[in-house]
Structure 1
Amino acid sequence: MALMKRLQKSAVEITPIDITHNLESLQFESALNDEEKQLLTLRKRSHAMVVTACTQATFFANILHEARQIKKQMKSPQKMTAKILQDKEARDPLKVGIIGCGRLGSQLAHCLLTYGRVNPKDMKVSTRRPETLEYLQNKGVDCFHDNIKLVSLSHVVFICVLPSQIQVMAEEIKEHIPGHTILYSFVAAYSPQKLKQILQTNQILKPDLSWNKESEQNSWDCSENVNTALENPVTVEKTCPFGNLKSESVILTNEKFGELMIFALLNMCTSLRLNKSDCLSILNLTLFGGISEDKLQESDFIKKTQDSHGVFPKFDLVKISQINTSVQKRVSSSEHLRKAFINRYMMMFEEYLKRRAMLGPDMEES
């Protein structure tokens, strides 16, 4: 009997060895000739770009959602963050729309549902072939082909169409975009200035992603899908606009994009009819965890006035993307603000892993 127990214990403790791990003949590259191997950098770049784009967009949607919940609890905003992470039913949920659901759009939808605070019933997807999105529909996501309907019902719209489709889409929706709606474009061929012209709105965010010969030499695991990649804290920090590890990524993000997230969040708070004081409270809590050492103030955005109960102007996000502001200078030069931003960025993905560890397999079904 004792021998049997020792054998059972040994069987549990011994980790099976995968004899095929790192076997060259089974690697993706083994089937390529020398000419084709020169193109492997394109595969790495493409994978890193999708991971970076999805991570940043998921974080952005999450902070907008949190800000809307905090607004509902303005009497004690400092106590809200932990409660938000526990509540299943949001009081004022962020309505998310995705136009185009190819490779990037579908990956983004999965990330928003997995790591973000987006409830399936608060997400809408408009695509020419909604019947192919059975997985999302089974989750409760409303999938259809009606861009006007989607834009009119969303607080933030992620544009994931091909460059050849953007002009037709713009003509279709430009007269139906609500003033409070933020358009987040992944269409690389169109600058924010061009998008502003054809969409007739200045509430546009576009990730500033780039690469160079040095960054393409950085290591990157292309074998993982996007959701799995975001379980790695190192990978997540590489995508953070103010992250300390972003120089180690294949895809580089300009810090300017982090600044644009700040202005976009402030605009949303203003659209919720909050005064300057409340807007700043929510912004500092949501993006910087309410740190006391250093906070963004009214004078960082506009000339300081005596009226703290007044409202901020609606900032032109496209114009902000072209000029230097004191906000970017403050965040870039402040160790406290940078560290706080990174912590908030990382926390969203860490909280998901904690919830999954507590709830186990049932979490994927909930």
Structure 2
Amino acid sequence: MVDVSAGLGSFSFEAELTEEEKGLIFLRARSAGLTFCGCAHAAFLCKLVQSLRYVIKGPTADRDSLASGEDSDICVGILGLGHMGKQLLLALLEKSGIKPSHIKISSRRPESAVESIKTGVECFFDNGRLAAWADVLFLCCLPSDLHKVCADIHSHLSKHCLVYSFTSGVPVTRLAQLLGHNFILKPQYDFFACDTADVWLSCTHLTAALTDPLLIEASSPLSTSGGISVGLNWVSAVLYSLLNICTSTSLGSSDALSVINTVLKDKSPHAVELDAHNFISASKAASLHTEEYFPWISLTDAQTKETPLMCFLSSSTSMQQSISAAYKSVLCPPH
């Protein structure tokens, strides 16, 4: 189809803007970039958690799953089906490898989720039910709705449910108070001036954008090439999340490290081997027996205080490169 308005300046988006408004055009790219990065990073996390579960179950997973009538997919809940919730659902269906039957949505208007239901994703309006069911729960609600949402799910969250919040303006410490829960991941994005920030304007269709190597590169957690970065704090919290999941499945410290290193090496063959000293203090690591569990790590503390893992990540260029390679391998695998 021919675009009859092509080349006609009077039909462009910018034509009717004042000079002052034109100075804010960069926010269009930033908004698109934040949505893309948020969805891509969430899909990466889910893929790591999914892979972790498969490695923990081991080679008998398929046989056991068939015998029990279940499989090893994690259960992912999306609370809120506004713009972010819808885009996140598309990203998870496209990139996480999680079956639609293992994704559920709670929305005030489940009748508006016709397209989601067609994919096999169940949608209803019961926040408590969703929280009780999910292994990973994404909060995509408005800040104005957060207090009610937290009241709905507070008593339904298991200790081992990873809550991932996209709700803006509410820090992780406040979320922890509202939920009485410390297994919460809240991405914090930093912005940088760069000449390539307009790359995000091509994100008109998320599913197509998620196949673009340039966008995947720009969204890499430690990259600043697109003017947006989630940084080492998020990476540290993701790795602590994997450690907690191992602890919740009663893996001893030696096995937990082996499983996490196996997952990372599967995504990035040259990944650096992590050991106990990278996660906990030297004194605790020295006294930790191989069959003993790692202590449960508060993600609230992991995102607000200096941790051994954050210190390690900050000083290890090779580990940063391994994480970036793993991210690109998951979202843009080689053919």
Give the TM-score of the pair, scaled to structure 1.
0.81
Cα deviation 1:181-238 (Å, max 9, x = unaligned): 01000111110000000100000000011325x2587332324322222222222122
> Which position in structure 1 is the counterpart of 2:30?
45
Q: Is 1:255 equivalent to 2:238 in the alignment? A: no
Gap regions ≥5 residues in structure 1 = 1-15, 81-88, 355-366
SS of the residue 2:104 aligns to:
strand
Shift of 1:335: 3.3
Provide the residue aligned with 1:57 in structure 2: 42
Q: Over residues 6-49 of structure 1, what are the superposed CA-to-partner deviations in whole Å (9 max), with x where a residue is unaligned? A: xxxxxxxxxx9x89797353643345443432231221111111
> Is 1:126 matched with 2:102?
no
- TM-aligned CA distance change 1:22 to 1:313, over 3 Å: farther
* Residue 325 of structure 2 corresponds to residue 346 of structure 1: no
* CA distance in structure 2 between the aligned counterparts of 1:186 and 1:149, rounded to whole angstroms: 20
1:273 and 2:255 matched: no
CA distance in 2, matches of 1:228, 1:124: 23
Counterpart of 2:136 in structure 1: which amino acid? V
Percent of aligned pairs with the same residue? 28
TM-superposed deviation, 1:70: 0.9
String of CA shifts for 1:281-331, please: whole Å, max 9, x gaps: 121122343757731101222322361111111100001111122212323
Aligned pairs (5 A) from 1:212-223: 212=192, 214-215=193-194, 218-223=197-202
Q: TM-score, normalised by structure 2?
A: 0.88
Counterpart residue number, 2:142:
162
Contact kept in structure 1, 2:265 and 2:271, CA below 8 Å: no
Q: Would the aligned equivalents of 1:182 and 1:204 in 2 still touch at CA under 8 Å?
A: yes
- Change in CA separation of 1:90 and 1:226 when aligned onto 2, cut-off 3 Å: farther
List 4+ stretches of structure 1 deviating above 4 A: 18-22, 290-293
| Number of residue pairs aligned between Structure 1 and Structure 2 | 322
Whole-Å Cα distance in 1 between the matches of residues 278 and 209 of structure 2? Answer: 36
Structure 2 unaligned regions, length at least 5: 63-68
Please state whether the residue corresponding to 2:227 is helix, strand or coil.
coil
Decide whether aligned partners of structure 1 residues 121 and 304 sit closer, same or farther in structure 2, where only a CA change above 3 A counts: same
- Tell me if the contact between 1:50 and 1:226 (Cα under 8 Å) persists in the aligned partners: no
Structure 1 residue 72 displacement after superposition: 1.1
SS in 2 for 1:299: helix
2:263 counterpart residue number? 286
Q: Highest CA radius of gyration, 1 or 2?
A: 1
Determine if the alignment matches structure 1 residue 175 to structure 2 residue 155: yes
Equivalents in 2 of 1:293, 1:145: separation in Å? 42
Change (3 A) 1:163 1:313: same
**Which segment is superposed worse, 27-36 or 331-340?**
27-36
